[in-house]
Amino acid sequence: MIKRTLFFGNPAYLSTRNEQLVVNFPEEGKAEKTIPIEDLGYIVLEDPQITITNGLLRKLVENKTAVITCNQQHLPCSMLQPLVGHTEQTERMRYQLNASIPLKKNLWQQTVMAKIENQANHFLIRGKNALRLKRYAKEVKSGDLDNQEALAAAFYFQNLFNINGFSRNQKGVAPNNLLNYGYAILRAVTARALVSSGLLPSFGIFHSNKYNAFCLADDVMEPYRPFVDALVFDIVESGCQIEDLNQSIKADLLMIPAIDVIIDGKQSPLMNAMSRTTASLFECFEGSRRKLLYPEFKSSLETFIR
């Protein structure tokens, strides 16, 4: 089942009644709205004048709904997660924490190869030359000691958008702002799936910054980034204003969890595919599986490209 994503960009009062999310607005004349909590996957709270009851927060957490809050720049900055995401959580975390260095290096090699392959296939769909990216993917070694991931990313973003001098920089020119927003949503999707699989988002297989609470999420989301890039590319090519994140652009980017991807030869919503990826990651930690399950960026994905 595809879970819904709700975005609140104006003042609102959020509460619960009869297993429903109840939305009331301070403006006169706006009718009360209700949505079944079981249908919700993500809630994005942007306006600082949103009030939410503790009873609703509890029900959302029990439903494994990710509650995402935004900062003054309107970018997602935090996410509410359940303390218990899986019935075997302690055992699963033990497997994760006891993972050997050779295993983590192998898993990172698989992750980087999958990411660069997806970047190359995105290039092919756009009619761009992907030979250099294909070569980078083949040259990835255990642990990516030669940093092919960074070399590929630099080349990829220098040549993806039809914008002279564009480079990927969080504080750079547009459409970096769109990529920042899209990646933040993707990060929340990844963290939610990891918690549901009984894993700790903080302990990565490669990322290890002590100030980063989502190291594993940042690892696992890498091969999924080109799907966000594809959505941003189409927004840019549409010719709309991209200097500011307006409601229309945000609505497009908030569809990321529902984007159709190809995983294990079958089409699946991205949020469901992410759950399969995190489940395969646990199996690798456990020793019952050797290969991570990542989506493949294929031409059939033109179905979601406008």
Q: Are 250 and 181 in contact (CB under 8 A)?
A: yes
Closest by Cα among 53, 80, 50 to 67: 80
Q: Is the peptide bond before 175 cis (omega within 30 degrees of 0)?
A: yes
Q: Please, what's the b/e burial string for 238-277 (b: 16 or more CB within 10 A of its CB; e: otherwise)?
A: eeeebeebeeebbebbbebbbbbbbbeeeebbbbbbbbbb
Pairing status of strand 12-17 against strand 20-24: antiparallel
Residue 77 C-beta-side C-alpha neighbours within 13 Å: 9
Between the CA atoms of 159, 258, 7 and 188, what dihedral angle is there, to the nearest 10 degrees? Answer: -70
54, amino acid identity = N
Q: How far is it, in rounded angstroms, from Cα 234 to Cα 15?
A: 36
* 62 contact partners, CB below 8 Å, separation of at least 6: 82
Answer yes or no: is 222 a known binding residue. yes
Question: Does the annotation place 62 within a ligand binding site?
Answer: no
Phi, psi for residue 15 in degrees, rounded to 5: -145, -170
207 is in an annotated binding site: yes
Measured CA to CA, the distance from residue 158 to residue 221 in angstroms comes to 21
Question: Interior CA angle at 200 toward 47 and 112, to 5°?
Answer: 90
Residue 172 near residue 158 (C-beta atoms within 8 A): no
Which residues line the annotated binding site for Mn(2+)? 149, 207, 222
Which residues line the annotated binding site? 149, 207, 222
